[in-house]
């Protein structure tokens, strides 16, 4: 989780450059502070963050955390012994270690990063804790949660264990007052937009199921000062369907009713799903919260997609794309619709700068592979890219996936 979050923030820093402001990080249920120290593996905590707050209800754990940060010499970390539901940021967070109890606090100050590492399952009133986190998180902020869970109770997730295993883990954790019910993850994914959602197992600890969630505020925060989710959905839908973009607030005045009716009929599945979610006050599909809108929403639970068993068939495309270009004579005015396959032909078409390329494949893994190749072109050097796709093997692939490629991949492509 920390590696994925660090990669997101590194990408954000590179993207903003001159407008970069150091983020404020709140680690809820941080305990002894190990989580914050572990982040130093991925980011220089003392110089990257404006301030870090560890919030925990246990005085003994907080004391261990204070000793840890004193030993490390980090001056921008404060340890707060308080109920996470009541925590508020100081009115003027400083870069130095402060006595949290004697400074004024603000209801409007926001955190840029919130993390909960195996702590949400230990909070009895998790609804209030999640709601409080949503109020504390800035409009463009990120939340990361890693925790244990029961797969059998999460209806939409992939069932990774048997019923007997579930009963064993539940009895084991109940003894320590750790709640594994799936409602915790459900509510988390209801209150926040999903950037990454992955279900995994820790086989070093007997195969305990756990999940990683990286999210953001449900309301999309774009480049405009205060863009609405509906307006961003409309723009993306226009790109997906090759329809003219019409502002949702003004298009009735701009076009006749006949043209408006025709435009309304041309809607992508992404738009339809987004409208349903917005009307029900649900987060948008995860594809809308990605750094790149390369991937269009699809229902990954449909049989026509699951029949491939999360495996791709073609690792490369053997047709010669030069023949395609001789026949098509691709220009900047062209819109291309093509089968994805391994995506090599798609990438070749792009060098001729067509207006847009739509890559379609019934097998989601083929589109995952194309995403991976595009992410590789975006984030990797030639040597690493060639090892992965030329030689077919990279000894450090997992680290590259987490630290460099993950900000450029959709949630589905990362968790395949």
pLDDT in tens, 203-214: 776 677 889 999
- Torsion over CA: 289, 290, 296, 302 (sign): negative
Question: If we measure between CA atoms, which residue out of 382, 371, 310, 376 comes closest to residue 346?
Answer: 371
pLDDT in tens, 240-279: 666 554 444 444 444 444 444 444 556 777 777 888 888 8
Residue predicted with more confidence, 360 or 154 = 360
Q: Encode 140-158 in three state secondary structure.
A: EEEEEEEEECCHHHCCCCC
Per-residue model confidence (pLDDT) at position 401: 95
Instruction: Say what the pLDDT of residue 134 is.
Output: 95
pLDDT at 333 over 90: yes
pLDDT in tens, 10-61: 999 998 877 889 999 999 999 999 999 999 999 999 999 999 999 999 999 9
What pLDDT is stored for residue 205 in this prediction?
66
d(CA 80, CA 95): 15
Domain boundaries, the chain: 2-217, 229-282, 303-414
Q: Which residue has the tokens 């919130």?
A: 114
Q: Is the confidence at residue 3, as pLDDT, over 90?
A: yes
Tell the CATH superfamily of the 2-217 domain: Vaccinia Virus protein VP39 (3.40.50.150)
Give dist(CA 18, CA 358) in Å, integer: 34
As a dihedral over the C-alpha atoms of residue 95, residue 96, residue 100, residue 101, rounded to 10 degrees, the angle is -140
């Amino acid at each position: 989780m920390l590696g994925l979050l660090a990669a997101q923030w590194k990408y954000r820093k590179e993207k903003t450059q001159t407008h970069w402001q150091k983020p404020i990080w709140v680690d809820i249920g941080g305990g002894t502070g190990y989580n914050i120290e572990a982040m130093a593996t991925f980011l220089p905590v003392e110089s990257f963050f404006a301030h870090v707050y560890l919030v925990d209800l246990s005085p003994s754990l907080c004391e261990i955390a204070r000793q840890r940060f004193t030993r490390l010499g980090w001056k921008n970390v404060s340890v707060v012994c308080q109920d996470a539901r009541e925590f508020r940021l100081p009115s003027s967070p400083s870069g130095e270690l402060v006595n949290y109890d004697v400074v004024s606090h603000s209801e409007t100050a926001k955190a840029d990063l919130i993390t909960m590492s195996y702590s949400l399952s230990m909070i009895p009133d998790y609804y209030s804790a999640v709601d409080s986190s949503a109020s504390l998180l800035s409009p463009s902020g990120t939340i990361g949660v890693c925790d244990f869970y029961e797969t059998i109770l999460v209806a939409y997730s992939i069932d990774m264990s048997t019923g007997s295993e579930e009963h064993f883990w539940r009895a084991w954790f109940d003894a320590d007052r750790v709640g594994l019910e799936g409602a915790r993850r459900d509510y988390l994914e209801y209150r926040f937009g999903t950037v990454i959602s992955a279900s995994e197992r820790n086989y070093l600890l007997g195969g305990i199921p756990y999940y990683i969630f990286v999210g953001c505020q449900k309301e999309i925060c774009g480049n405009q000062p205060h863009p609405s989710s509906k307006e961003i959905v409309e723009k993306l839908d226009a790109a997906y369907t090759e329809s003219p973009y019409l502002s949702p607030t003004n298009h009735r005045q701009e076009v006749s009713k006949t043209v408006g009716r025709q435009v309304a009929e041309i809607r992508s599945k992404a738009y339809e799903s987004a409208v349903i979610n917005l009307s029900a006050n649900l987060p948008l599909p995860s594809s809308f919260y990605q750094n790149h809108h390369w991937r269009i929403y699809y229902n990954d639970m449909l049989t026509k997609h699951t029949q491939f068993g999360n495996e791709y068939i073609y690792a490369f495309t053997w047709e010669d794309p030069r023949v395609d270009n001789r026949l098509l004579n691709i220009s900047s005015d062209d819109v291309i619709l093509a089968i994805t396959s391994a995506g090599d032909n798609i990438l070749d078409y792009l060098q001729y700068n067509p207006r847009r390329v739509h890559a379609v494949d019934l097998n989601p893994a083929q589109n995952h592979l194309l995403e991976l190749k595009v992410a590789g072109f975006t984030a990797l050097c030639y040597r690493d890219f060639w090892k992965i796709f030329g030689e077919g093997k990279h000894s450090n692939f997992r680290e590259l996936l987490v630290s460099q490629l993950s900000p450029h991949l959709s949630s589905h492509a990362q968790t395949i």
